[in-house]
Structure 1
Amino acid sequence: MNRRSVIQRGDLLRCLQGTCGGERRFVAELCGFEGAEPPERLPSEPVIPTIPFLPPRIEVEPPRLATTGTVQFLRAVRSQAKEPEPPAETAERTWLEQLPPLTPEELSGRNVPPPPTPPLQSWARTWPFLRDALGGRREGTRLEPRAAVRDAARMRPFHRLPRIKRRVWARHASVFLDGRESLACFRDDMRALVEEIKRWRGAEGLSLFWLTDGSPAGQAHRLPAPETVAAKPEAGGPVLALSDLGCLGGGTALGRVWSDHAHRWRRQGIRCSALLPCPRDRWSAEVAAAWDCAGWDRGERRRRGGQPPLARKENPADANQKVERLLTLLTPAARCERGLLRSLRLLLNQDADVGTEFDVWNHPECVN
C-alpha cells in the first residue's frame, strides 16, 4: 500500500531549483515522486526537393514560300444590261396593314365631345398672382394711428387724416388673350381663367382683347362683341397678358413688339403683368425686363415683381428626347385632343413641361 507522501508538489519544485540533468530524477524519487520516461523520437524522413516538369522543346520549321507560280487576271470583253429580278414574295400582310387609310371625316371630332383638359395650374396657385396683377390698394374708413402719430411728432399739419389702405380690385383692367393657332392647346386654360376672373372680380370694368395674330400692335377683337378695335388698354388700369410674348414660336420680332408696348404703357402709369405658358429657360431677357412675368405651369413658384429667366438653357437634344417620348405615348390615338395631350404630359411629371406640350402640339406628325 502506497503511503501518501507528506511532501507536496510545491516542495518538489523548490527542491528542483538549482538542479539539472540526472539530479532532478534522483531528487524527485527521494521526495516520493516517480518520473516518466521521455517518449522516443521517430527519425524524420529526409525532404526530397521536387523538380518542376518541363515539356520537351518542339522545334517548328518555318513555312517555305513558293518560289514558282502564275496569277491569272480576267479581262472584260463585252457588257450586257439585265432586267432587275422581281422581289421575292413576302409573308401575308397583317389585318392592320390591309386596312385602308383613315379619311379626314374619320379623323374629325364628329359629335363626340372632347375630353376635359386638366388645368395648367390650380386656382389656389394662380389666385395670388391675379390679385396682385389686377388689383390695387384703396383707403378705407378706418384711421391709421401710426401715420397720424408720426406726422404729429414731426409737426406736420393735418390736411387729411391718414386711413388704412386695403387691397381691392382695380376699377378698370384689361386682359389680352393670344389667339394664335400655335397656342391653341392653351385656349381652354385661357377661357377658364377669364371665367374665374369674372366670377371673383366681376365683369364690370373688365376689357377682354382677343389678339388673332398674337401682337398688340395689330387689330384685336373686343370680347364678347365681334367688333374689331385697336388693342388699347384702359387708362390707369392694369394690363394682364395671357401669352408666351413671342418666347415659344413668335420669334424675336414679336417679343420686341410686346416689350415696346410694355414700356409705353408703363410710362402712362399702367402696370403690365403676364402669365406665360412657357418654361423659364425659354424666356427672353428683354421681355422679362419689360413685363412682370410669371410661369403658367405646375411647379412654378412666383414672387412679387416678376421672375427672371433662367440663365441655364435646356439642351436641344434633351428637349427633342422629351418630345419623342410624348409622341410615343400619343401613337395609339388617331387624333390628338388638347385634354389627351395634357393628361399624358402630366403623367411624365418632370420629364415633360409646358414647352414640350407646345412642341408636340405643333409637331408635323401630330394631327389635331
Structure 2
Amino acid sequence: MAKPQPELASGGVSRTPIGRADLVRALVRCGGQAGAASLERFASLAGFVRRPVVLLPRVPIAESQPAPPLPLPAETAPAEVAVAPSAVSWYAVVQMTETPPAPDGQPDNGPVCLRGVPPLTADDLLPEASAPLLPDSPLLPWARLWPFLKQTLGATTAGPIDVPRVAGLLAEGRVLRHLPRLCRSRWAPEAQVLVDFDLRLEPFRQDFNDLCAGLLRLRGPLGLQILRLLEEPGGPVRPWGQATAPDRPWRPPAPGAPVLLCSDLGMLAGRDSGLHAAWLRFGRLLNARGIRPWVLAPVSPERLSPAVLRHFEVVCFTPDAPLRPCHAPGAPREAAALAELLAFLAPAVRVEPALLRAAVRHLAPRAARAGVEAAFWNHPDFVQAHGGVAALPDAAHRTRAGFARLTPELQRDAMGLLHRAHAHLPPAVLHEERLTAAGLANPSALAAQGAQVDRSARFLLSAAASFHGETAQLADAKAAWARRLLDRGDAAQRSRHPAYSVLYAAAYRQALLDGAPAVPDDGLDRQEILRALADPTASPTRWDLVQDSHTLRLVPDWTPLDRAHLRVSLLARLRVTSPLVAVQTPGPHGGLTMQPLGMDPVHLTRLAPEGLPIKVSTGSVEIVVDAFPRPPWARAIGRDAEGLWCDAEWLGQRVRLRWGALEHAPHWGWQPKGGVGVDTFGLYADFTVAGVTQRCRWIAPGSFRMGSPPDEVNRSSNETQHDVTLTRGYWLADSACTQALWQAVMGANPSAFKDDPANPVKKVSWNDVHTFLDRLNARVPGLDAGLP
C-alpha cells in the first residue's frame, strides 16, 4: 500500500497519515467492535489521547442584574477544543507600491523626480561673482613684524666714545681701564633665514613670502641668505624667489651669525615623528657652532616641549600673542577651539587658507589663532592639497552633527562666509554647500535664504537631468564629480534630494549593469535608481513574482498552463521597465543584490523566516514579501497556481478568500467575498435583516478579560471585569444592536428607547433579549448571535 502523500491544501499543515476515521476502519478490519472501550485502547496504541470536553454553564440572571459575561447557550453542541496555532509560514506579498503615472506626453519609465525638469544651460554654469569676495588677510601686520626681524637678525657694535659716562667716572675718582663707547644696533653683517614651505604649513605660505619680501626691502640682500628648505633640515636648499635656480647643499653660517627659521619644527607632524627628530638634530648642530636659532612657529604654545625649548628660541607666530620667546609650554586650549571650528566649516566642500583664516577670526578662539589654523589644516580627517583641504567622507558626516548644534547666528554667519569665499568658483560647489547647510541649520537661520536654497535644489535636479540624458556617453570628469558628490552626502542628505539617486545611477551605470558589487546607496531611492537605468525608448515587459517551494523567483509572463506545469504559485504580476531587479533582505547574511533581467527566470532569494521581510524593486513597483501563520479562523489554507487562499466558515458554508491587493491601499490582505472579509480587527461578516445591515466578528478561542476596568471614571453601569474563556470560535455583533435592527426583528415601539436609542438592550428585559436572539437566528440560520 502506497504511503499517503501530504496535500498542499490542508488545515494549516499536511494531513497526518493516520486520522481518527482510519482508526475506526482498522478496528473493524481487525474484528473488533467500534465501541468506546475498544476504540480507547486502539487509539492509545497509535499515540492518541482523549482530551476533556469543557462546557461553560449557562448562568441564570435576573432582570435587575448587569449583563453577564458572554455564556454559551446550553443547547449548543459540545465545545470544540482550541487547536494550537500552526508553525508553518505562508509567504505572501504584504505591500506593493507602484510608480505614479507620468503626465500626458512624458515617458512612464524615467525618474519621477526629473519629470518636467530641464537640463542645465550655459547660464546655470556661470559663477555668481567674477572675483573672490573674501580678500586675503595677513597673519600679522608689517608694523608688528619688522621690529621683531630687526631684533632677531641684528647685532650690536661699538660706536664713538661715551663722553658723558667718561666724565661721570672721572668725577667719581675711578680709574679708567678702557674707554666706554656707545652701542649701536645694526643689521648683522651675515644672517641666514630658512623657510619651510611644506604642505602642512600651506595656510602660512603667503605670510612667509611677505616676510621674506619685506626683509629684503628693509635690510637689503648684502650678507643675507634666504633659503627654501626642500627636504629635511640640513638637506638641499634653494634660494628663495628663484624657482629655476638649481638645488644646492645647505652650508651652516659663520659661528655666532643669527639664524631665523620659519617653520613648525615638525611639531605638527607629531612629537614622535621622524621629521621632528630631524629638527632636534639640526638644533643641536647649530648649538654646537655657537648659534642659538630663532624660530617663528605658527603653532600653539601647548605643542612646545622641553627638548624644543632647549635648542631653539621659539616665538609663536600668531596675532593674539606678543612676539617674545616662549620659556614653557602653554595650557591645553586648542582642542575645544578646533572642535568649534570643525563644526563651523562642516558644510564646506573645500576649505582654502583665506576661508580658514576668516573663520578663525570670526570665532576668535581663546587658543592661539595660528595654532588653531595649523591644527585644522593638519587634521587627520582632511585630505591636503596646495589650494585647500577637503574632508574625508566619513569625517564630514561626523562634523555635520556639530554644525546642527551651533546657534542660529553662527549657522547664518557660516553660510554667509561660504558664499563670500566660493561665489567666484563653479556654481556646483556653492550649491552643494548651501544644500548641506540647509539640511542641518535651524529654520530661523534660513529665513532670508529660502530662495537661494530652492535655486540650489533646482540646480541639482537640472544636473541630474543632464547626466541622465548622457548616461550612455557620460564623461569621466562628470562621473568623477557625481561620485565625489555622493561620497560627501550622508544618508539624510541623499534622502532629502532625489537627484542623488539619479546621479548614482549615472555614475555607476556600467558597473550596475555588469552585476558588479553594488556601491553603498544609503539614503537613496532604489526605485529612482532603477528607473534611471531604464532605456527611455524601451517597452515595458511583464513578469510574475512566484514562489517555487522555498524559493522566490521572477519569471516571464508565461501562460497559465506553463505556470501550472512548473508547480509554482503566483505572488504578484509586475510591469517592469528597468534592466535590473533589486532584492533587499535583512539579517546577518542579507543585503542588497542587483540582478539583470533577460529572457530566463531569475532566482531572487531563498524563502526563510530569518530572511524576512524581502523587498523587491523593479523601478515600476516595489514589493514587500513577508510570512505569517495560518489565521485561527481559517478552516483551510493553501496555495495554487493563482496564489494564496483560505476558507472561512459563515452560516454553515465555506467561503474562499483570496490573498491580493486591497482597494485604495498599497497593503495586501484577504480580499472580501460575499460580505465576508478581514480587516485590522480580524474576520468579519455582514448580514442584512429587513434592510438593516449588521456586522459580526469572529472571536478566536481562548481566554480574555471582559468588562470595564476598576479605575474607570463615571462608569455607566455596575458591571465588573470577568474572565471569559471560549473553547471554540464565536460570532459576536460588532457593536451593540442598533435601534433599527432591534425594531426590524422585534417590532418594538421606538419610544421605548428614547433614553438610550443607541443601545436598546439596556431598556428591555433579558427575556426580550433572548427572544431577539432566537428570532435573529431564525432570520440568519447558522448564526451564533451575541451581544458585547
For residues 182 and 142 of structure 1, do their structure 2 counterparts lie closer, same or farther at Cα, with a shift above 3 Å needed? same
* 2:247 equivalent among 228, 246, 250: 228
Distance of 1:77 and 1:209 partners within structure 2: 80
SS of 2:113's equivalent in the other structure is coil
For residues 243 and 85 of structure 1, do their structure 2 counterparts lie closer, same or farther at Cα, with a shift above 3 Å needed? farther
Distance of 1:342 and 1:113 partners within structure 2: 15
- 1:88 is displaced (CA, Å) by 6.9
Letter in 1 for 2:285: R
Distance of 1:221 and 1:84 partners within structure 2: 72
SS of 1:183's equivalent in the other structure is helix
Asked whether the equivalents of residues 148 and 162 of structure 1 are also in contact (C-alpha less than 8 Å), the reply is no
- Paired position in structure 1 for 2:264: 244
- 1:192 is displaced (CA, Å) by 0.3
Asked whether the equivalents of residues 317 and 323 of structure 2 are also in contact (C-alpha less than 8 Å), the reply is no
Distance of 1:71 and 1:202 partners within structure 2: 105
- 1:150 is displaced (CA, Å) by 5.2
* 2:187 equivalent among 136, 150, 169: 169
Asked whether the equivalents of residues 333 and 366 of structure 2 are also in contact (C-alpha less than 8 Å), the reply is no
Q: Once structures 1 and 2 are overlaid, which stretch shifts more, 143-152 or 250-259? A: 143-152
How do 1:1-368 residues align onto structure 2 when only pairs under 5 Å count?
A: 72-76=84-88, 92=113, 116-143=135-162, 145-146=164-165, 155=175, 157-158=177-178, 161-213=179-231, 215-225=232-242, 226-235=245-254, 236-249=256-269, 251-252=271-272, 253-303=274-324, 306-314=325-333, 316=335, 319-328=338-347, 331=348, 336-350=351-365, 353-362=369-378, 363-364=382-383, 368=388
For residues 342 and 74 of structure 1, do their structure 2 counterparts lie closer, same or farther at Cα, with a shift above 3 Å needed? same
SS of 1:140's equivalent in the other structure is strand
Distance of 1:221 and 1:232 partners within structure 2: 12
- Paired position in structure 1 for 2:605: none
Distance of 1:254 and 1:308 partners within structure 2: 23
Per-residue Cα deviation, 1:108-148 (whole angstroms, up to 9, x for no partner): xxx97896421111222223322221111111124254368
- 1:157 is displaced (CA, Å) by 3.6
Distance of 1:260 and 1:293 partners within structure 2: 16
SS of 2:252's equivalent in the other structure is coil
Letter in 2 for 1:246: G
Q: TM-score w.r.t. structure 2 length?
A: 0.32
Distance of 1:244 and 1:121 partners within structure 2: 17
Asked whether the equivalents of residues 275 and 294 of structure 1 are also in contact (C-alpha less than 8 Å), the reply is yes
- Paired position in structure 2 for 1:50: none
SS of 2:195's equivalent in the other structure is strand
Asked whether the equivalents of residues 117 and 188 of structure 1 are also in contact (C-alpha less than 8 Å), the reply is no
Per-residue Cα deviation, 1:308-362 (whole angstroms, up to 9, x for no partner): 343422364652332221344xx2xx65433333223222222672233234434
Distance of 1:176 and 1:293 partners within structure 2: 14
Distance of 1:148 and 1:258 partners within structure 2: 51
Letter in 2 for 1:219: P
Q: Which runs of 5+ in 1 are unaligned?
A: 1-63, 101-105
Distance of 2:204 and 2:151 partners within structure 1: 23
Q: TM-score w.r.t. structure 1 length?
A: 0.64
Per-residue Cα deviation, 1:266-293 (whole angstroms, up to 9, x for no partner): 2322231011111112223321232111
Distance of 1:312 and 1:259 partners within structure 2: 23
- 1:299 is displaced (CA, Å) by 0.8
Letter in 1 for 2:204: F
For residues 173 and 314 of structure 1, do their structure 2 counterparts lie closer, same or farther at Cα, with a shift above 3 Å needed? same
For residues 348 and 87 of structure 1, do their structure 2 counterparts lie closer, same or farther at Cα, with a shift above 3 Å needed? farther
- 1:81 is displaced (CA, Å) by 10
Asked whether the equivalents of residues 229 and 236 of structure 2 are also in contact (C-alpha less than 8 Å), the reply is yes
Asked whether the equivalents of residues 338 and 376 of structure 2 are also in contact (C-alpha less than 8 Å), the reply is no
Distance of 1:94 and 1:202 partners within structure 2: 68
- 1:165 is displaced (CA, Å) by 0.6
Distance of 1:95 and 1:287 partners within structure 2: 65
Distance of 2:182 and 2:98 partners within structure 1: 89
For residues 163 and 318 of structure 1, do their structure 2 counterparts lie closer, same or farther at Cα, with a shift above 3 Å needed? closer
- 1:194 is displaced (CA, Å) by 0.7
Q: Which runs of 5+ in 2 are unaligned?
A: 1-68, 70-80, 101-110, 389-788
- Paired position in structure 1 for 2:578: none
**How many aligned positions are there?**
285
SS of 2:358's equivalent in the other structure is helix
Letter in 2 for 1:222: P
Letter in 2 for 1:171: P
- 1:265 is displaced (CA, Å) by 1.5
For residues 124 and 146 of structure 1, do their structure 2 counterparts lie closer, same or farther at Cα, with a shift above 3 Å needed? same
Q: CA RMSD in A?
A: 4.1
- 1:243 is displaced (CA, Å) by 0.7
For residues 70 and 84 of structure 1, do their structure 2 counterparts lie closer, same or farther at Cα, with a shift above 3 Å needed? closer
- 1:251 is displaced (CA, Å) by 4.3
More strand per residue: 1 or 2? 2
Per-residue Cα deviation, 1:50-99 (whole angstroms, up to 9, x for no partner): xxxxxxxxxxxxxx9xxxx9684441368x79899789779736999x87
Q: Once structures 1 and 2 are overlaid, which stretch shifts more, 83-92 or 165-174? A: 83-92
Percent identical pairs in the alignment equals 28
Letter in 2 for 1:237: A
Distance of 2:268 and 2:311 partners within structure 1: 17
SS of 1:357's equivalent in the other structure is helix
For residues 83 and 337 of structure 1, do their structure 2 counterparts lie closer, same or farther at Cα, with a shift above 3 Å needed? same
Distance of 1:92 and 1:302 partners within structure 2: 59
